[in-house]
Chains A and B, each alone.
Chain A
Amino acid sequence: MSSPRRLLLPFCDDSTLIFAVRLRNLLRVAAPEADVTLGCYMSEQALSLRQLQMQLPEADYLILSDEMLIESVQQGYYDAVLTSRVFRSLTDFLRTPVLKHLRGRARVIGFLGGLDFFPDRSYANRIPCDGVFMFPRGEVEKFSAWATKQVENDSNLTAPLVDFGHPTFLEPSPTPPADLETRRDIYFFAQAISPLTRRGRLHVLEAMVALAEANPDRTIWIKLRHLPDENTSHLHREKHDYQGLIEAAFKSVPPNLRLTACPMHEALEQAALGITCTSTAAIDLIREGVPTMVYLDYVDAYMDPMSAAMRRIFEGSNVITSLDDLLHLRHGTPDPDWVKQMFCPHDLGQRVLDMVETLQSRSASASSG
């Protein structure tokens, strides 16, 4: 019998931390004996104390400098590093032939960061990895074919193992939440850089004010991804925060329009309806069986490359909603075929462990051969 797997899950900001926590939960179910360690990668650290306390109340993580991360991989302190962001130091390591070929090093498995708006970039960032998890389902074949072509032209590359899934994209439960009928709150899930322009964000705010005025018996929450002083060094830095826009551009807002930076699971447990423009929150909402609207027709949407990309990803989903439908609270039901393509089975933790096993045995047989 093989010894328990030692797995390192690095994180540096709210997106990578949420990924790491969710994957750790799946791994703990699939292999309770596995040694799963979260590591805060300091070179790109962009988390506030509040965010850390909210996601990791037990503070059970270690600190990773560039050198420590690379040493961990090189010396094989872990069987695998599982990451949703392939950090530059990891890429450099894996692109160095004598290091990539090294016996006993940790295998690196890359996941997508979330909704993949720009696949070319994601493909290029993940090809040095030993294994890759992609979605939607069709991307597995597309990425594999692309990787095979790259390998033909570059003798320093090897084609990664490829599988389907992401811990945020788990198949929705077939039944909606038991208390959905009694819920009243509507949540708008904000995203840092989309809508891109100040005018576009003001338009969305005006729509939320209109919803609040038309539904005085409901609370309309603007769910902030982070507080204005947080994520200032995040990959996606917010230029026009909603709180600041309300203060600057509105004399007053209805009392039932409120802002919150509560944890995602709290919002999902209370939402009767969730609205977003380009946030991965749309996926969280569908997964949890909460009625979902993706609104992409905001003012200045043509300025925002994420609007077109989100429309491509959600094409056929039946949740893209016009402004008129949004204001009248008319939402669609997610298309089952689209859901099947986008969401993966709940055995993801086991499949990750299987991939680690395959990569380790492949490495062992190569070094003994």
Chain B
Amino acid sequence: MLLARLKATRLGKWLYRQSRHPRLGVPLRWVMAQGIHERLDLAHWRAANRRHNARQAATLAAFRARDTGQPRS
């Protein structure tokens, strides 16, 4: 995992320290809360993984649309 590897580096540890700062850490904490860093992982680009996520999203959308014929927001 990209994030696990980053955490083990000096940069990762420095970023973690910064994120604890009451003011300077605010944007970093926001990024983490939004899960933006999680989306940077290379695993998301593998075809099998993309298909997996698309299949789950499609199954859910199809179920929610079954009554109305329209996907719900």
Contacts and interface: CB of A to CB of B under 8 A. Distances in A.
Contacts of B34: 198
Contacts of B38: 196-199, 300, 303
Interface of A: 196-199, 203, 206-207, 210, 213-214, 239-240, 297-303, 322-324, 327-328
Contacts of B46: 302
Contacts of A203: 56-57, 60
B50 to A, nearest CB: 10
* Nearest 10 pairs of A and B residues by beta carbon: A198-B35, A327-B63, A197-B38, A323-B59, A302-B49, A299-B53, A210-B64, A299-B56, A324-B59, A210-B63
24 contacts: A197-B35, A198-B38, A199-B35, A203-B56, A210-B63, A213-B72, A239-B32, A240-B35, A297-B52, A297-B56, A299-B52, A299-B57, A300-B38, A300-B53, A302-B43, A302-B46, A302-B48, A302-B49, A302-B52, A303-B41, A323-B56, A323-B59, A327-B63, A328-B63
Contact of B1 (A199, A240, A301, A303): A303
Interface residues of B, number: 23
Determine chain B's interface SS by DSSP, over half rule: helix
Contacts of B32: 239
Contact of A207 (B43, B49, B60): B60
A63 B51 CA distance: 52
B48 to A, nearest CB: 8
A322 B59 CA distance: 10
A130 B35 CA distance: 44
B52 A301 contact: yes
A203 B49 CA distance: 15
B39 interface: yes
